[in-house]
Structure 1
Amino acid sequence: MAENQKSRSGMEIILASEAAPGLVLMACAAIALGLANSPLSHEWHELLHHVLPWTPIAKLNTIHLWINDALMAVFFFVVGLEIKREVITGALANPQRRRLPVIAAIAGMAVPALVYLTVTYDRPDLHAGWAIPAATDIAFAMGVLALVGKRIPPSVRLFLLTVAIVDDLGAVAVIALFYTAKISLSWLGWAAVVLMAMIALNRSGVRRTWPFIVLAVVLWFAVLHSGIHATVAGVLAALTVPMALNAEHDSPLLRLEHALVAPNGFIVVPLFGLANAGVSLIGADGGSALAPLPLGIAAGLFIGKQVGVLMALLVSEKLGIASRPAGTSLMHLWGMAVLCGIGFTMSLFIAGLAFPEHPDLAEEAKIGILAGSVLSAAMGALLLRIAKPVP
């Protein structure tokens, strides 16, 4: 094993690590930011937002829409597969083990939203962005954890991963309930029919993956035209994929998750970062960052997240509701809570939904997302770096 490791190049080791998608995402975010502030900014914007001369789906008439409404459905499909696996056989399967992450995730969504609404209370036109600082970017957070090193107890990584999974489920529910346009009942009806067909396939014992993939695409198409955001179809489709293991300890869900994890981490999410993380800082001053919208988002991510998650952990432990993760000190808990403030991917996604008719506000939101996420990453890494191991 050691010889094998030595024979692999540094790049191969990095790409094989769990942190690799987060590191790639960071690089793409930096590239997008660089392009948005370079002489190529206009050309880059035109490439993403120029109406395509031809498209097979009329609603998706720009590259930006194809990335956000089509490719991101794959991201949400993988999220759905992970959620189902964790609920059935993973960290969320045991009621006692899932109690603390669920409480922490709920508090970690509610407090940032309250912080945001407090900052923007006298701007009703900004209230639609309340959910922007409520989500955690697991790829980015895992990348930061990897950079910190191996001194962190394994329980920190597992707990952060579990909180982020619950967080993602909450974000999907928020998107479906609060960021839905005018509903088309006919398309919604067709989506319901396709979803029931997928459930029937599961119940009838179908264990091939291709029928679920085909119907997932059909479901996505129906939801795209229903008024509910198309990416919700990804999670709904994933929840119908069978998890029951066969004699070889395999299942359609595990096969699909294994096949999609790399494309999702190295293609889908980085492309989303490239298409959405760029914000022009040319001509911006300190006042721009302190405007209510970016300030509310940054404060929600950096302050609200750590307060919500850390208070949930400490209060739950104090009241005997649940025990803290094994081998962790207060500094570990604090650092982990701060890392939950890395919102990036989901925050950028929700920002686009919150202000669809006001691209200028969506651009302002990016400043807050980047500021809050970078501050959370830096402080979280520092706290975990100086945290002393628990004997």
Structure 2
Amino acid sequence: MTSPARLFSRGSWAETARIAALLRKETVGGLLLIIGAVVALVWANTPWASAYEGFRDTVVGPAALHLDLSLGTWAADGLLAIFFFVAGLELKREFVAGDLRDPRKAVLPVAAAVGGMAVPAVIYAVINLRNDGGLVGWAIPTATDIAFALAVLAVISTHLPAALRTFLLTLAVVDDLLAITIIAIFYTSSLSLGPLALALVPLALFGIAVQRRVRSWWVLLPLAAATWVLVHESGVHATVAGVLLAFTVPVVRSQAAGGPDAGPGLAEHFEHRIRPISAGFAVPVFAFFSAGVTVGGLSGLGASLTDSVAVGIIAGLVVGKTVGIMGATWLVSRFTRAELDTDLRWPDIAGLSLLAGIGFTVSLLIGELAFGPGSLADEHVKVGVLTGTLLAALLATAVLKPRDRRYRRIAEAEARDANGDGIPDVYQEQGRAVTQTSPRETVDEASERKRATDPT
């Protein structure tokens, strides 16, 4: 009888180390995001609120190209294209060289991401059934903000196990793909096929250049900008251009470019260069321009919190995300006969699911697309997103913090390196177990053996 597969099992050391380095950058970006949001929220509720609104609504850009946009719009359409470019790179890397290339390992984060988006959307729609104008915002509570979630983990000093952090990142990556698909399909009000077709020209040239390992900014940046402008002109939200450009970047260097040992493709190089710009500048600036909602005192806050749009968002983020992710995880374990890793329990999954209810950047973006920036409904969206995010963070803290002693023990075991070779002992023991497996090896062990022997 074969051993049951393990959910949330520890991955390879190379993958764990890569993701740990990536998450450290996202954590710093998340802290900057929080600072930007708090500054905007405080400024918008002071006697100088008009100065904030005037600054946000300042129009810059060439009118001849239809790019005379407000600073707030530039942040949503332009800076978030950088964010989605980085998300696209990470997504492609996961599907080409990461855990998502193995269907057996991809099934859990993909199912959890789908469940974590579908259930919040249903909850929001049910709450807003009698609000015809509010139904358009059904996708607002579907997004997870990985940077904000990691910042919360940093603030509460919880040593979440590497397997759970990896799962959270993978779930957020799939979440971003689904979110940009929703934006492209459901939040494109008018479509001009001419500019969209023309956008394929600079996009193709960009793809050819990166396939040939061209790194010169004076070649790539104009092509990327032209793609962005034409996608913007087509009526499709301009952030889609960021994902399309990312998908052209090679993850693995082809044999024609120097053989299988020539190293990774340009995706890793671009991610290393551009992620700090995205996490440290683009997303915090967007948060600054988007989070500034005038509450109007306790009465105004009460009116916003009782609006069905805000209630739907809060319920979707806090309840929907938790039910969707935990439900999908249970279904995967039920139908694949997989069991949780021996170090974890279902309360750990509950805390992680609550943490995934922290939705900020993409939720605010979809709110603006659904109701229009500056509208009353958009103000309610901001209150709902901020409140739901805060509640999800507090509840996740309440669940995860008491379990930190267990997490510390796991972290110490994962960091122990008795022979001082730079690779923790648990990963070496895991590697030896993989090479010595019999035909009874588990699904996860088989995946690790395949990863170790596959040169790609």
Question: Structure 2 unaligned runs (5+)?
Answer: 1-22, 411-456
| Corresponding position of 2:436 | none
Deviation at 1:299, TM superposition (A): 0.6
RMSD: 2.1
Deviation at 1:80, TM superposition (A): 0.7
CA contact (8 A) 1:355 1:362 kept: yes
Q: Return the letter of the residue paired with 2:269.
A: R
| Corresponding position of 1:6 | none
Match of 1:360 among 361, 364, 376: 376
- Is 1:157 the counterpart of 2:165? The answer is yes
| Corresponding position of 1:109 | 117
CA contact (8 A) 2:26 2:279 kept: no
CA contact (8 A) 1:155 1:327 kept: no
| Alignment of structure 1 residues 1-391 onto 2, 5 Å | 18-52=26-60, 57-201=65-209, 205-210=211-216, 211-245=219-253, 247=261, 249-283=263-297, 284-320=300-336, 322-324=338-340, 327-356=343-372, 359-387=375-403, 389=406
Cα separation, partners in 2 of 1:256 and 1:55, compared to 1, 3 Å: farther
Deviation at 1:87, TM superposition (A): 1.2
CA contact (8 A) 1:295 1:368 kept: yes
Aligned counterparts of 1:219 and 1:54: Cα–Cα separation in 2: 17
Aligned counterparts of 2:61 and 2:185: Cα–Cα separation in 1: 34
Aligned counterparts of 1:62 and 1:221: Cα–Cα separation in 2: 16
Cα separation, partners in 2 of 1:147 and 1:248, compared to 1, 3 Å: farther
Deviation at 1:382, TM superposition (A): 1.8
Match of 1:125, SS? coil
Aligned counterparts of 1:214 and 1:252: Cα–Cα separation in 2: 18
TM-score normalised to structure 2 length: 0.78
Cα separation, partners in 2 of 1:200 and 1:342, compared to 1, 3 Å: same
Cα separation, partners in 2 of 1:165 and 1:124, compared to 1, 3 Å: same
Aligned counterparts of 1:374 and 1:326: Cα–Cα separation in 2: 31
Q: Return the letter of the residue paired with 1:270.
A: P
Cα separation, partners in 2 of 1:322 and 1:178, compared to 1, 3 Å: farther
Query: For residues 267-312 of structure 1, what are the alpha-carbon distances to aligned partners after superposition, in whole Å with 9 as ceiling and x for unaligned?
Result: 0000000000111111414232011010111111111111100111
Q: Return the letter of the residue paired with 2:313.
A: I
CA contact (8 A) 2:97 2:251 kept: no
Query: For residues 148-178 of structure 1, what are the alpha-carbon distances to aligned partners after superposition, in whole Å with 9 as ceiling and x for unaligned?
Result: 3353221111111111100000000000000
Aligned counterparts of 1:146 and 1:236: Cα–Cα separation in 2: 32
Match of 2:150, SS? helix
Aligned counterparts of 1:237 and 1:384: Cα–Cα separation in 2: 38
Q: Return the letter of the residue paired with 1:316.
A: V
Query: How high is the sequence identity, in percent, across the aligned residues?
Result: 38
CA contact (8 A) 1:156 1:328 kept: no
Question: Structure 1 unaligned runs (5+)?
Answer: 1-14
Match of 1:122, SS? coil
Aligned counterparts of 1:47 and 1:191: Cα–Cα separation in 2: 31
Aligned counterparts of 1:110 and 1:60: Cα–Cα separation in 2: 36
Q: Of the two, which has the highest radius of gyration?
A: 2
CA contact (8 A) 1:148 1:384 kept: no
Deviation at 1:196, TM superposition (A): 3.3
Deviation at 1:17, TM superposition (A): 5.5
User: Higher mean Cα deviation, 111-120 or 321-330?
Assistant: 321-330
TM-score normalised to structure 1 length: 0.90
Aligned counterparts of 1:127 and 1:174: Cα–Cα separation in 2: 15
